[in-house]
């Protein structure tokens, strides 16, 4: 396994040059509206929906969606192309036997090879697939304990606010556009969404 990882890491810089980097690719973090910016929306349901739509700029960003694929293969880069080399989720979301996520992905970003990393690197469960779904459908999915890993809304907030794999979306390494805003700003939006009834967009 150590030899396989060494071989893969030795060729990844070349793969990165051809697959992961595009000319003029943006690397600046886009902005998010702050939770307080929605205080003027007097109708609580409308405010809840508006807040989630703003949070949706993160939820539907490639840094999040790529790890929530509809199939068994993760996606890559801002264009969401299938992971190269070919890998699959495996039974536990950590890759197939003999080709685990940790074969290439370490605890931190490997910048020389443009390989992202995090101690928790894995795919989201297939029940949390977001690719191809509307923001409203994703919202309902996030709230549904049968499809969100049995989480309460309070646990969803904690996940969005504190999980360091979620936080990787704002520190994805070279060649990848960070998610909009900051994890703190995103977390505040999710908190307000729950506080205002966790209402979902209709589309």
Predicted local distance difference test score (pLDDT) of residue 28: 63
User: Is the Cβ–Cβ distance between 170 and 183 less than 8 Å?
Assistant: yes
Residue 190 contacts residue 161 (beta carbons within 8 Å): yes
DSSP 69-136: -SSSS-EETTTTEEPSS-----TTSSEETTEEGGGT--SS-BGGGTB---TT--PPPGGG--TT--HH
With residues binned 3-state (H G I as helix, E B as strand, rest as coil), the percentages for the chain, rounded to 5, are 45, 5, 50
pLDDT band at 106 (very low <50, low <70, confident <90, very high): very high
Q: What is the pLDDT of residue 203?
A: 85
Own/partner contacts of 168-171, CB < 8 Å, gap of 24 or more, are: 168/63, 168/116, 168/118, 169/58, 169/61, 169/63, 169/64, 170/29, 170/63, 171/109
Determine the average pLDDT of the residues in 144-152. Answer: 95
pLDDT tens-digit series, residues 5-19: 544 544 444 344 334
pTM of this structure: 0.85
What are the structural domain ranges in the chain? Answer: 2-23+30-195
Nearest to 76 by CA among 163, 172, 141: 172
Residue 20: predicted pLDDT: 43
What digits encode the pLDDT tens for the residues 149-189? 999 999 999 999 999 999 999 999 988 999 999 999 999 99
Sorted by sequence, the CB contacts under 8 Å of residue 154 that are 6+ apart come out as: 194
């Amino acid at each position: 396994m150590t030899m396989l990882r060494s071989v893969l890491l030795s060729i990844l810089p070349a793969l990165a040059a051809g697959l992961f980097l595009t000319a003029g690719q943006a690397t600046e973090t886009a902005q998010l509206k702050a939770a307080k910016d929605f205080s003027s929306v007097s109708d609580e349901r409308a405010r809840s929906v508006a807040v989630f739509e703003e949070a949706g700029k993160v939820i539907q960003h490639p840094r999040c969606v790529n790890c929530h694929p509809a199939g068994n293969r993760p996606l890559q880069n801002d264009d969401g192309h299938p992971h190269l080399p070919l890998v699959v989720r495996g039974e536990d979301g950590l890759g197939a036997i003999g080709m685990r996520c940790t074969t290439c992905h370490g605890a931190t970003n490997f910048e020389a090879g443009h390989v992202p990393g995090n101690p928790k690197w894995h795919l989201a469960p297939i029940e949390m697939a977001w690719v191809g779904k509307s923001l409203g459908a994703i919202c309902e999915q996030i709230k549904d304990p049968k499809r969100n890993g049995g989480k309460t809304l309070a646990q969803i907030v904690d996940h969005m606010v504190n999980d360091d794999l979620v936080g990787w979306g704002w520190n994805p390494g070279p060649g990848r556009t960070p998610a909009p805003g900051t994890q703190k700003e995103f977390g505040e939006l999710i908190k307000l969404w729950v506080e205002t009834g966790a209402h979902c967009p209709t589309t």
